[in-house]
Structure 1
Amino acid sequence: MKHSLTRLLRLCAAAVPVLGLFAADAGAQSKTPLLVYTAIETDAMKAYKTAFEKANPNIEIRWVRDSTGVITAKLLAEKANPQADVVLGLAASSLALLSQEGMMLPYEPVGFSQLTRRYSDQKQPPAWVGMDVWGAVICYNTVEAKKLGLPKPETWKDLTKPIYKGKISMPHPASSGTGYLDVTAWLQMWGEAEGWKYMDALHENIAQYVHSGSKPCKQAGAGEFPIGISFEFRAHQVQRSGAPIDLIFPKEGLGWDIEASGIIKNTKKLDAAKKLVDWMASKEANQISSTWWAIVAYPGVAQKMEGIPDNYESMLVKPNDFEWAAKNRDRILTEWSKRYNAKAEAKGS
């Protein structure tokens, strides 16, 4: 039986309007429309769509886009009557949950053997196939910190020091995949007792839990809060835009997840769905991913990014058990919300 939190999320998700749905153009009647649910950053949606449709002119991607938590809840709410054909760019921890619920169609795409195996589902054939890795980072506004006399933190545990009280924003783990990868990393790194103890102490210094993994770094860049817990792609983008932030990669290790793709079982567009998943496994798609991500599934394609350390991949927390994170999602989010939800940002803010 699902916990009340998941039931609430499902009800909310069912009421969420379709976001980011690309309308068919006048000449699209002869194309196969493929309904694709995604949590990828809007920066990437157009690039993937344009390149895929150029290679597959008889297929049209129609996006439904929202945050990881909302898309996950929406898919679960639609379990008895699935609407999506493909899930693209959703967190592996969410796709593992959908797979456990029997909603994913195992499929090994063309060219799968070329990809880094540990960044996809370990079952054979895989229920989901990795695109790229995203990991935790702290965004630290050097100008605001100097004004406030805030030292530069070096570790996760530094963030519990009283000097940072009210100065930190973090993603809400029920809404944001980045927030959830932080929470599950701390619980795996330190064990559950110490992990919750750490989050209790961190909570004392949190100003706000926001419903986006990007927003804390944007807030830090704008000086709204001097410190934001975010992820490396957005941190790199904010820094490149000229914001006075340093990127901090805490020494204990970085929580991380994988953006991945998979086919929804019982899709009526199976051939088109396979073509999209095949294409997402291609070198071309991975080259597009490497525009934003420091680690992609296709070896040798990733580019060096300013501000991202050369040993970034080795800093990722290991092991990172996505099956455990999926199986315990309801329990973890229920406990987290009971303890910390009082500081959650209002929806729609």
Structure 2
Amino acid sequence: MKPLLRRCVAVLFACGTISAAHAAGKLNVLCSADLEWCQLMKTRFEKESGIDVSMIRKSAGESFAQIQAQAKNPQVDVWWAGSGDAHLQAAFENLTQPYQSPELPHLQPWAQSFAKVAQYRSVGIYQGVLGIGYNETELKGRKLPVPKCWKDLLNPAYKGEIQIANPNSSGTSYVALATLVQLFGEDDAFKYLRALNANISQYTDTGVAPGEAASRGESTVAIEFMHDLIKQKAAGFPIAVGPACEGTGYEIGGMSIVAGAKNPQEAKRFYDFALRADTQSAGIEAKAYQIPSNVAAKIPPQAPNLASIKLIDYDFAKYGSPQVRKHLLQRWTAEIYSHGN
């Protein structure tokens, strides 16, 4: 009987192991941060939870488009990171579901306010400030002036020297578009963008690509979030960065649980994990220089100093609404992108 008993115990143990593995679950995540930070989040969460994470990196605009296209049969549970305007549009279109994490009271007021605007279908996980970056070596070699203001970028000397992303695919660039509209008014902002178009060498697909191109000397000036440009500088590239003198906009990076998520409990567990102070403090390991939303999280010393920056009063509710966002993107495509550069 002993061999039989041992076999039975072995079978029961194996079944228990399989059940435990099954109980750990799985999770499908769309990540709109840098690939290095996406991988860090995946690795840390899997190690802590035992949950198997399938993670795909896409820009905010691309992530929103995927979630919208899959609304009737969601293939994603959590959308983590990416500019909040896209997360808000998803929230306003009921593509994401409400969830109030136990970590919510521990977040900065701006992150809690963002969650309230989203009717708790999204939450703020970090803040990033829009800036102007340039390759100091290339700028000096080409005898170009230092760009300090939005209107400086209209100087004909910068013809073919500037890159910015396409706002249809990039959350970074949509923030830039909405920032200019809020600074100058819509018609004057588009007048500015038409003039700027003459100096643009390329509208990239992702928000980080302009800074990467400037770092390699393929272009000279990049318009993107300061934390992404600071990452290039920290890597040893001759990149300088600053906010525009007229005032600049900012993003609140969002996180949302997709409506109809197939793994809702695992999604909530990841949501809570991502809002914890220790998790957000670990972002520095991936060279993420955003300002974290948890009040107890460590702010990277390289992060932009908000006290020295003139920020606009960015209207997230208005510029994250489907109607306004669609209108601005359609107008940009028709009046700017379709005319080339």
TM-score interval, smaller chain: 0.7 to 0.9
Residue 236 (1) aligns with residue 230 (2): yes
Residues in 2 aligned to 1:343 and 1:192: alpha-carbon distance in whole angstroms: 19
Q: TM-score, normalised on structure 2? A: 0.86
Structure possessing the higher radius of gyration over alpha carbons: 2
Which residue number in structure 2 is paired with residue 163 of structure 1? Answer: 157
Percent identical residues: 26
Residues in 1 aligned to 2:187 and 2:339: alpha-carbon distance in whole angstroms: 22
| 1:16-35 to 2 correspondences below 5 Å | 31-35=24-28
Shift of 1:152: 0.2
Shift of 1:247: 0.9
Shift of 1:86: 1.4
Shift of 1:334: 1.1
Q: Identify the match of residue 129 of structure 1 among 98, 123, 143.
A: 123
Shift of 1:55: 2.5
Shift of 1:30: 5.2
Residues in 2 aligned to 1:322 and 1:40: alpha-carbon distance in whole angstroms: 22
Residues in 1 aligned to 2:120 and 2:307: alpha-carbon distance in whole angstroms: 28
C-alpha distance after superposition, 1:53-103 (max 9, x if no partner): 23322x222112212211111111111222211111132111111111112
SS at match of 2:245: coil
In structure 2, relative to structure 1, the CA distance for the partners of 1:240 and 1:123 (3 Å cut) is closer
Q: Which has the higher helix share?
A: 2
Which residue number in structure 2 is paired with residue 54 of structure 1? Answer: 47
Q: Identify the match of residue 100 of structure 1 among 69, 92, 95.
A: 92
SS at match of 2:167: coil
Q: Identify the match of residue 226 of structure 1 among 215, 220, 229.
A: 220
Residues in 2 aligned to 1:124 and 1:76: alpha-carbon distance in whole angstroms: 17
Q: Identify the match of residue 64 of structure 1 among 52, 56, 74.
A: 56
In structure 2, relative to structure 1, the CA distance for the partners of 1:125 and 1:167 (3 Å cut) is closer
Q: Which runs of 5+ in 2 are unaligned?
A: 1-19
One-letter identity of the residue aligned with 1:336: W
SS at match of 1:79: coil
Q: Identify the match of residue 317 of structure 1 among 312, 334, 337.
A: 312
SS at match of 1:299: coil
Q: Is the 8 A contact 1:97 1:323 kept in 2?
A: no
Q: Is the 8 A contact 2:162 2:202 kept in 1?
A: yes
Q: Is the 8 A contact 2:167 2:174 kept in 1?
A: yes
Residues in 1 aligned to 2:218 and 2:33: alpha-carbon distance in whole angstroms: 25
Which residue number in structure 1 is paired with residue 333 of structure 2? Answer: 337
SS at match of 2:246: coil
Aligned length: 317
In structure 2, relative to structure 1, the CA distance for the partners of 1:158 and 1:125 (3 Å cut) is closer
Residues in 2 aligned to 1:214 and 1:28: alpha-carbon distance in whole angstroms: 38
Which residue number in structure 1 is paired with residue 3 of structure 2? Answer: none
Residue 45 (1) aligns with residue 38 (2): yes
Q: Is the 8 A contact 1:189 1:317 kept in 2?
A: yes
Q: Identify the match of residue 207 of structure 1 among 201, 224, 228.
A: 201
One-letter identity of the residue aligned with 2:319: W
Residues in 2 aligned to 1:281 and 1:323: alpha-carbon distance in whole angstroms: 25
Which residue number in structure 1 is paired with residue 299 of structure 2? Answer: 303
In structure 2, relative to structure 1, the CA distance for the partners of 1:155 and 1:76 (3 Å cut) is same
In structure 2, relative to structure 1, the CA distance for the partners of 1:306 and 1:293 (3 Å cut) is closer
Shift of 1:203: 1.0
